[in-house]
Amino acid sequence: MSYDKNNIFAKILRGEIPCNKVYENEYVMSFYDHNPQKKIHVLVIPKGEYIDLDNFIDKASNIEIVEFNKGISQTIKILKISNQEGGYRILSNTGKYGGQEVPHLHYHIFGGERVGKMVV
């Protein structure tokens, strides 16, 4: 599968679609989900063209991998949902069986309330 430059996250990164940013640096952006499933629901995406985690690990530079993970951590700090503040869940859907809807690597961060069971 090749990267679709017209997916919604690519358009957000290009500024064609607005978003409510939480955090941004040279390598990563996080923003509130437009259809939140929990009290806090934020998406974290790398700025590079990566379809999923496998594609990211295979093709991203070491700095992109490190900064993506630091971006997740920084977002959690900004949201004030660390383990000491109640906790959070991170989720990434991959592929057809994993329920991935947008073909750009993204992590969902849920918090601010009890998230519930992992799989129903």
CA dihedral defined by 11, 16, 19, 21, rounded to 10 degrees? Answer: 80
- Helices of type H across the chain: 8-13, 53-59, 62-79, 95-98
- Residue 106 annotated among the catalytic residues of the structure: yes
CB 84 within 8 A of CB 114: no
Which residue out of 34, 41, 104, 106 is catalytically annotated?
A: 106
CB 42 within 8 A of CB 30: yes
Terminal-to-terminal C-alpha distance of the chain: 29
CA dihedral defined by 49, 59, 55, 51, rounded to 10 degrees? Answer: 0
Active site (catalytic) residues: 106
